Structure 1
Amino acid sequence: MAKLILIDGSSYLYRAFHALPPLTNAQGEPTGALFGVVNMLRATLKANPDYLAFVSDAPGKTFRDDMYDQYKANRPPMPDDLRAQVEPMLAIVEALGFPILRVPGVEADDVIGTLARQAEAAGIEVEVSTSDKDMAQLVSPHITLVNTMTGTVMNADAVKDKFGVPPERIIDFLALTGDTVDNVPGVPKCGPKTAAKWLAEYDSLDGVIAHAGEVGGKIGESLRAALPQLPLSRDLVTIKTDVALEQGPTDLARREADVATLRELYTRYEFKQALKELDSADAPVGAHPVRDALAPDAAEDDRAQGALLPADNAPGSYELVTTPAQLDAWLAKLEKAELIAFDTETTSLDAMQAEIVGASFAVETGHACYIPLAHDYPGAPAQLDRAATLAALKPLLENPARPKLGQHAKYDINVLSQYGITVQGLKHDTLLESFVWNATATRHDMDSLASKYLGYETIKYEQVAGKGAKQISFSQVDLETARDYAAEDADVTLRLHRALWPKLESEPKLRQVYETIEMPLVPVLARMEQRGVLIDVNELRKQSQQLGKRMHEIQQQAYAEAGRDFNLDSPKQLQAILFDELGLAARVKTPKGQPSTNEEALEAIADDHPLPRLILDYRGLAKLRSTYTDKLSGMVNPRTGRVHTSYHQGGAATGRISSSDPNLQNIPVRTEEGRRIRQAFIAPEGWRVMAADYSQIELRIMAHLSGDEGLLKAFHEGGDVHRATAAEVFGLPPEEVSANQRRAAKAINFGLMYGMSAFGLAKQLGVDRGEAGDYMARYFARYPGVHAFMETTRAQAHRDGYVQTIFGRRLYLENLSARNQALRQGAERAAVNAPMQGSAADIIKRAMIAVDGWLAGRDDARMLMQVHDELVFEVRADAVDAVREGVVARMSGAAELKVPLLVDVGVGANWDEAH
């Protein structure tokens, strides 16, 4: 079948302009967008289409301007650097032999739509090369879209996957959501999910309009208010497919290239590879021609082979802003920018106590500024007033309509919050882009990301501030050095986004995880960190004393068991007593072959003699005291009177949130001493602590993913699932199941999620391996769906190198092909568990976003902490019932599983009482 490629020239030009660094030739002429377009056109030619056309907007108004005088009214004028590249682009396109179509009175979309439908009717396969979402309405069995940046093909299934509606409903979808870029009015606050939901329920825009009275809440009010304009919106977003054209699809064969003109243009604009290819008849064709054409967005394997543009890792040009005129110029530039990369420099890693020293901004790659505000070394030049400058920046930073970009932006948001600035409009975070793209490919700090994705070596903090005892505060760094370091942060952040965002755009499910889970969670976590949690310092001091007393008692018992005094904290002395004097068997060795005294080694011999257990108990209490009861008191923020943890989204590969300073995730809950620490987490007078915890969430996810009828039934009946499992495994009525049998079933239920072997189960239950294997065989016989799921998941992991959560997060696994059997089996166990643990992480994140949104309009409850599957709140005493109901509804509704999502809620004067 013949093939027609229609190139959306405007889309090519704009995407190349924003994706590539601001390149120039020796004469200073801008060439970045031109370079990208030329490379993509060369790649298109390698595909050898039968027909092709380069379609661009003609100058002047179109019929849509006559329909609506505000159409595209908000669009900023084309940047001068981009406008200068339009004519050279058209000259190269023509010299390459592409037919160029520019039809007055209509847009390029309409010309493309008309040709696509004509070609389809003539039995010609059509590929539309674009990144314009409006084009999705053209997709059909014989018309596909190709993303100009990534080479990703979008067919009807991909349209449905991305937008939630099929191609024939895209017009209605766009009419409802509107288009801020083209200034097409939609239904206010109607996002893609709401539009897709309405269209699924009412079939079409006309159906939505007819049933508008049935839609409740504020969104229903918005819909009814927007009804008069919806027909206009539909007309504006509808691509015309009946434009009168002088040429049809079969008239669009490629003309012979004008080699002499191409050589002249390529030489002028310094396109060396294109020149080389021009003189070579056998230039290689890449596996991904469009993606490989753009070096900054090339595949990672290509980067490893050195396929980087020199400008991709070239130094930037940075400005030091120290005068009101410079600041005004940058404020004007920021106001017009499509995306603002920003960063702060401070005096501390603790965002809640840090003082801001300066701020940096970038709106185009290769260029950035640093605004010093509080450098105070001897002889420091005059700087802008910090309070006045932050006041000038405040409207911009708080404007949700000005999209912003950061690298670990939550830190900067928290720092700025201390100065009365509530950052809004955070659109992207490169840490999270990298984390969602591949959580295990690299660390997600800026230095690591720049090295991996840009081939760029960043200036390190130690290079400007020193290290160790001689390290100075950033406020002591001279302005010129500070400018290069700080402005580079904003510039590299923007460069990273240009490299990472197209990757996520090419994978709809990953993009959805990023846009609907990770990014909305950033301000939620920031607010939780800013609120902090109230601590009873006196209670902690009392507990420290009690722990010290208990440790002393254990110490005396240990002396008695050893027959002499010794230092319980000395591994060398302990080694001598355990293995030399007491003659215990050393079951775990150090890398050097010596008997180990670590926790695993002591657990292995804990049944052989009382001393190892005493040492383990002593260490547990010592850790509680040093990590929590002694340390937490000193972590109370003097300004707020509260303790403020830091939450990390880009830590665990499964997506689990972790916390540090203090680490709230590791407070033991199974020991009396650990639970007592939670008694020091209190509520203010007149308030209560509320803890809401998902019940057996990973096991419920296992039931959902496996679809096993027996497990689903056990959860739907709402009884004791471990007792139900024991009844199945041991062939008994539930009421006859013994405590040991229930314990065995519980161990199997949870153990299988972590890929536990018969050997591991035997060790946990204290039975021989044969008996444990028999338990597992009976389990799988009764729950065959679980076994099938585990086998299928392992196979998928080996095939793809990753597994997925319910929501599409990818969890990459190393060592699946390792020769070492232990490493390989460990990776396979992780493959089985990762979908459950990762889905649980996604669910509680979705719950946090929903709960935070609901609480935004209330003053009687605050979300304070997230610990594993639990959310902790401060609730005014008279609002407990209402808040409990609202929290449970949103946590239960965070995912649609085949089994109920149950939430246990407790309330008390402190966290322990509520747990």
Structure 2
Amino acid sequence: MSHVILTKEDLTEAVEYFKRQDAYAFDVETVGEHRGVPSQNQVTWLSMATYGATVVIPMGHPNGDTLISKATRKKNKQTGKFDAIPAVWDEPPAQLRPSQVFEALEPLLFQERYRKIAQGAVFDLVSVAKYYDEQPPVPRYGCTLVASWLLDENRLNGLKPRVIEEYGHKYDTENVGKRVEIHPFSKIARYAYLDARYTWLLWQKMVPLLQAEGLSRAMSMELQVLQALLDMALTGAPVDIEALRRLDVDLARQLEGIVERVYKAAGKVFNINSSQQKADILFGMKSAGGQGIKPRKLTKGGKKKRRDGEKPTLYDYSTDAEELKRHSDNPVCATLLEYQEVNKLHGTYVQGYLGNEKEGKPSIIFDGSIFPTFKQYGTVTGRFSASEPNLQNVPRPGTELGKAVRGLFIAPPGKAPVLTDAGARELGWKLLVADYGQIELRVIAHFLGYGAWYDGFHAGIDAHTATASAVFGVSPEKVTTDQRNRSKTLAFAVLFGAEAETVAKSMGASVAEAEDFLALQARTMPEVGKFKAWLIRDALSHEVPHIRTLIGRKRRLPDLASSVRWIRARAERQLLNSLVQGSAADINKLALIRMGHLCRQNREWLRLSLTVHDELVVHCREDKTEEGAALLQQAMIGTEIQKLIKVPLTADVKVCDRWSEAK
């Protein structure tokens, strides 16, 4: 069997061989302006590997192997800039058309008996779905990226780092997959061959490791999550383009005003986007026009200098949002922080969507919708991350900017034809938006098993009210708004391991007052401290210190055993948060699986669109909103999920036209 498939006869022979197996790995190489968006790209290479065979199928690679002229640059007389002139190669060999290839592969992709394995499987599965009328290959799936992440969430889990570690082979030092179309035919053929072959080999190695580490249940859940992510990747999220353009103008105007306030607070004009100039302003001596702030957090370069025995300069210290928040009482820091937040919104959620011609960034809106990539492996705790765009960073719904950004996401504008007893009708769509109520505090109450939070949730009392009642020694109905707000800060200090300084700023109190408040909480809610102490002991009882979430995912924290006090203390602060966030992520992912299944059963009127933290966003035909809302609530708090946790779960479902209307 030929490794590189160029004829229909070779393709038929390869397919017949693969059909005799029970599983295979596959990988695609893509081109086009939106090569990173799987629903929009163009597949020009597909490679497959199984027991005893690996094949590579080119479908339109433009280059041969003989270089005629090298890539160069030529000055553009009109713009004064240098335009890139690509290399010229001889003609490539004749290749099969995508239609021929995907017709032949259909039996392998659309039969359940074959496990289809890929590295970052959502991308590859959606990339090929467009060649089958947007129908993704049917389960069973496998994903080496998810498997590798479950086996160690703290390492680099890309294919090449795993291959180097497992097999000692370093390949593709040029990162040819980024732009396959500029490289010679044989180089891409070998690259595609190795990607598929190593994906197959790693899967064979990882499956028994997952079983040995007790992670099979977690892997099974993640593969079902993968199926829901395919649905969302193909559904997309409609956006209001006109509102987006108006927000573009509004944020640009806001930024101009904020910049003026920054200059006024600093007493001088400087490059607000320059880290060095910001360091001069923030950390410079007051006598020299600086703010005299003592720098605390080193950049990566600063840390390297210190490790190498060099003394860091002012420019080796961070001026990021975390550091600005530490000094939010300083007018320069406060206005810089505001600038960074608004500028990030403008860049991420406006120009990021619309595109920016000056910077060569294309729009990511296709037929009125965006198609985010949700990564189930994107964090160490198990929560989703997202890109193109990063919806996990959408501002809080209670803020003005949060409402503006969420208001961009709308129900599908089209009409759905429906045949009723009264005849044919065209009906519109609505959004169903649901989120869990205080999910992280419910999770910690579950693990505690008793105390103020546990009892409060069972009594139907809000967690922050229950905290205030316990800490201030008053009945729940007598808790004041101020007491509840202070207890809200306290609850999240417990979850995230915040220190007294941070708590003080959140409460608008002195550090001494915050320390007294934290001490009071420790005395009145001793169950929290006892559980933290037990959790540390339990984690340290393992060879590699770790905890397990509700469904058994591991969160490894080797720094718990560090002999360095501050490193150990940081890991101890992360431990409870990892357990709680990871278990909340388990619940959210299970809800996503359940809702995805219901949407597939009712595809003509119910479609899964987005997940952001503990929220699910669904498209529902307007005549079915009551039924859809009931299904969504059942997916999130039904018996199969509720039995996992010992306190009652709640989920609030809203019917709306814009995401911002849900809260």
TM-score, normalising length: structure 1: 0.61
Q: What percentage of residue pairs aligned between the two structures are identical?
A: 31
Please report how far the alpha carbon of residue 771 of structure 1 lies from its aligned counterpart in structure 2 after TM superposition.
Answer: 3.6
Which AA in structure 2 matches 1:654?
Answer: T
Residue 654 of structure 1 corresponds to: 381
Is the alpha carbon distance of 1:845 and 1:604 closer, same or farther for their aligned partners in structure 2, counting shifts above 3 Å? closer
Is the alpha carbon distance of 1:403 and 1:741 closer, same or farther for their aligned partners in structure 2, counting shifts above 3 Å? same
Residue 212 of structure 2 corresponds to: 506
Which AA in structure 2 matches 1:534?
Answer: P
Q: Distance in 1 between matches of 2:44 and 2:219?
A: 31
Q: Which structure is larger by alpha-carbon Rg, 1 or 2?
A: 1
Is the alpha carbon distance of 1:864 and 1:477 closer, same or farther for their aligned partners in structure 2, counting shifts above 3 Å? same
Q: Distance in 2 between matches of 1:560 and 1:748?
A: 35
Match of 2:525 among 744, 762, 783: 783
Q: Distance in 2 between matches of 1:780 and 1:646?
A: 42
Residue 908 of structure 1 corresponds to: 656
Residue 767 of structure 1 corresponds to: 509
Any idea what the Cα deviations from partners look like across 1:40-86, whole Å, max 9, x if unmatched?
xxxxxxxxxxxxxxxxxxxxxxxxxxxxxxxxxxxxxxxxxxxxxxx
Coordinate RMSD, CA, aligned: 2.3
Any idea what the Cα deviations from partners look like across 1:841-892, whole Å, max 9, x if unmatched?
1111111111110111212221111111111112222221111111111101
Any idea what the Cα deviations from partners look like across 1:419-474, whole Å, max 9, x if unmatched?
1152113332111221222222x32211111222x324153162657xxxxx8x42
CA contact (8 A) 2:233 2:373 kept: yes
Residue 121 of structure 1 corresponds to: none
Mapping of 1:376-455 within 5 angstroms?
376-377=62-63, 378-420=90-132, 422-440=136-154, 442-452=155-165, 454-455=166-167
Residue 889 of structure 1 corresponds to: 634
Matching of residue 872 in structure 1 with residue 611 in structure 2: no
Helix, strand or coil at the partner of 1:898: coil
Please report how far the alpha carbon of residue 639 of structure 1 lies from its aligned counterpart in structure 2 after TM superposition.
Answer: 5.3
Please report how far the alpha carbon of residue 758 of structure 1 lies from its aligned counterpart in structure 2 after TM superposition.
Answer: 4.1
Matching of residue 632 in structure 1 with residue 353 in structure 2: yes
Helix, strand or coil at the partner of 1:404: strand
Please report how far the alpha carbon of residue 566 of structure 1 lies from its aligned counterpart in structure 2 after TM superposition.
Answer: 4.0
Which AA in structure 1 matches 2:374?
Answer: Y
CA contact (8 A) 1:318 1:483 kept: no
Helix, strand or coil at the partner of 1:322: coil
Match of 2:236 among 532, 545, 562: 532
CA contact (8 A) 1:708 1:784 kept: no
Please report how far the alpha carbon of residue 576 of structure 1 lies from its aligned counterpart in structure 2 after TM superposition.
Answer: 4.9
Which AA in structure 2 matches 1:678?
Answer: R
Is the alpha carbon distance of 1:379 and 1:914 closer, same or farther for their aligned partners in structure 2, counting shifts above 3 Å? same
CA contact (8 A) 2:241 2:368 kept: no
Is the alpha carbon distance of 1:667 and 1:691 closer, same or farther for their aligned partners in structure 2, counting shifts above 3 Å? same
Which AA in structure 2 matches 1:498?
Answer: Q
Residue 294 of structure 2 corresponds to: 587
Residue 485 of structure 1 corresponds to: 191
Please report how far the alpha carbon of residue 562 of structure 1 lies from its aligned counterpart in structure 2 after TM superposition.
Answer: 4.2
CA contact (8 A) 2:352 2:364 kept: no
Matching of residue 373 in structure 1 with residue 59 in structure 2: yes
Q: Distance in 2 between matches of 1:354 and 1:430?
A: 22
CA contact (8 A) 1:636 1:643 kept: no
Any idea what the Cα deviations from partners look like across 1:622-646, whole Å, max 9, x if unmatched?
1211111122123655754311111
Mapping of 1:532-611 within 5 angstroms?
532-577=236-281, 579=284, 580=286, 582=289, 584-589=291-296, 591=302, 592-594=312-314, 597-608=319-330, 610-611=331-332
Q: Distance in 2 between matches of 1:660 and 1:693?
A: 21
Matching of residue 863 in structure 1 with residue 591 in structure 2: no
Q: Distance in 1 between matches of 2:550 and 2:127?
A: 35
Residue 369 of structure 2 corresponds to: 642
Mapping of 1:60-139 within 5 angstroms?
none
Helix, strand or coil at the partner of 2:25: strand
Match of 2:3 among 311, 314, 319: 319
Please report how far the alpha carbon of residue 325 of structure 1 lies from its aligned counterpart in structure 2 after TM superposition.
Answer: 2.1
Is the alpha carbon distance of 1:611 and 1:497 closer, same or farther for their aligned partners in structure 2, counting shifts above 3 Å? closer
Please report how far the alpha carbon of residue 571 of structure 1 lies from its aligned counterpart in structure 2 after TM superposition.
Answer: 4.4
Mapping of 1:66-215 within 5 angstroms?
none
Residue 668 of structure 1 corresponds to: 395
Any idea what the Cα deviations from partners look like across 1:176-217, whole Å, max 9, x if unmatched?
xxxxxxxxxxxxxxxxxxxxxxxxxxxxxxxxxxxxxxxxxx
Any idea what the Cα deviations from partners look like across 1:766-799, whole Å, max 9, x if unmatched?
4344443443343334333322221111111222
Any idea what the Cα deviations from partners look like across 1:679-708, whole Å, max 9, x if unmatched?
111112322222111111111010101102
- After TM superposition, where is structure 1 displaced by more than 6 Å over at least 4 residues in a row? none
Q: Distance in 2 between matches of 1:464 and 1:543?
A: 38
Please report how far the alpha carbon of residue 328 of structure 1 lies from its aligned counterpart in structure 2 after TM superposition.
Answer: 1.6
CA contact (8 A) 2:279 2:314 kept: no
Between 655-664 and 386-395, report the one with greater CA deviation: 386-395
Any idea what the Cα deviations from partners look like across 1:793-844, whole Å, max 9, x if unmatched?
1111222210110111110013112233221111111111111110111111
Helix, strand or coil at the partner of 1:907: strand
Matching of residue 744 in structure 1 with residue 483 in structure 2: no
Which AA in structure 2 matches 1:330?
Answer: A
CA contact (8 A) 2:385 2:392 kept: yes
Which AA in structure 2 matches 1:488?
Answer: L
Is the alpha carbon distance of 1:904 and 1:488 closer, same or farther for their aligned partners in structure 2, counting shifts above 3 Å? same
Residue 701 of structure 1 corresponds to: 443
CA contact (8 A) 1:665 1:867 kept: yes
Q: Distance in 1 between matches of 2:533 and 2:348?
A: 41
Q: Distance in 2 between matches of 1:653 and 1:574?
A: 31
Residue 111 of structure 1 corresponds to: none
Helix, strand or coil at the partner of 2:589: helix
Residue 349 of structure 1 corresponds to: 36
Q: Distance in 2 between matches of 1:808 and 1:638?
A: 38
Please report how far the alpha carbon of residue 573 of structure 1 lies from its aligned counterpart in structure 2 after TM superposition.
Answer: 4.5
Which AA in structure 1 matches 2:491?
Answer: N
Helix, strand or coil at the partner of 1:320: coil
Q: Distance in 1 between matches of 2:392 and 2:274?
A: 28
Q: Distance in 2 between matches of 1:464 and 1:666?
A: 31
Please report how far the alpha carbon of residue 650 of structure 1 lies from its aligned counterpart in structure 2 after TM superposition.
Answer: 1.7
Helix, strand or coil at the partner of 2:26: strand
Q: Distance in 1 between matches of 2:263 and 2:501?
A: 35
Of structures 1 and 2, the one scoring higher in RCO (CA 8 A, sep 6+) is 2
Q: Distance in 1 between matches of 2:141 and 2:627?
A: 33
Helix, strand or coil at the partner of 1:371: strand
CA contact (8 A) 1:710 1:782 kept: no
Please report how far the alpha carbon of residue 739 of structure 1 lies from its aligned counterpart in structure 2 after TM superposition.
Answer: 2.5
Is the alpha carbon distance of 1:359 and 1:564 closer, same or farther for their aligned partners in structure 2, counting shifts above 3 Å? closer
Which AA in structure 2 matches 1:511?
Answer: S
Residue 38 of structure 1 corresponds to: none
Q: Distance in 2 between matches of 1:331 and 1:457?
A: 29
Any idea what the Cα deviations from partners look like across 1:733-765, whole Å, max 9, x if unmatched?
223323222122112222212223445433432
Q: Distance in 2 between matches of 1:405 and 1:559?
A: 55
Any idea what the Cα deviations from partners look like across 1:588-615, whole Å, max 9, x if unmatched?
255424276443443344324x333222
Is the alpha carbon distance of 1:339 and 1:606 closer, same or farther for their aligned partners in structure 2, counting shifts above 3 Å? closer
Q: Distance in 2 between matches of 1:648 and 1:334?
A: 29
Is the alpha carbon distance of 1:612 and 1:754 closer, same or farther for their aligned partners in structure 2, counting shifts above 3 Å? closer
Which AA in structure 2 matches 1:765?
Answer: M
Helix, strand or coil at the partner of 1:319: coil
Is the alpha carbon distance of 1:562 and 1:812 closer, same or farther for their aligned partners in structure 2, counting shifts above 3 Å? closer
Please report how far the alpha carbon of residue 647 of structure 1 lies from its aligned counterpart in structure 2 after TM superposition.
Answer: 1.0
Helix, strand or coil at the partner of 2:649: coil
CA contact (8 A) 1:536 1:681 kept: yes
Q: Distance in 2 between matches of 1:488 and 1:560?
A: 58
Which AA in structure 1 matches 2:637?
Answer: S
CA contact (8 A) 2:432 2:656 kept: yes
Is the alpha carbon distance of 1:546 and 1:392 closer, same or farther for their aligned partners in structure 2, counting shifts above 3 Å? same
Residue 181 of structure 1 corresponds to: none
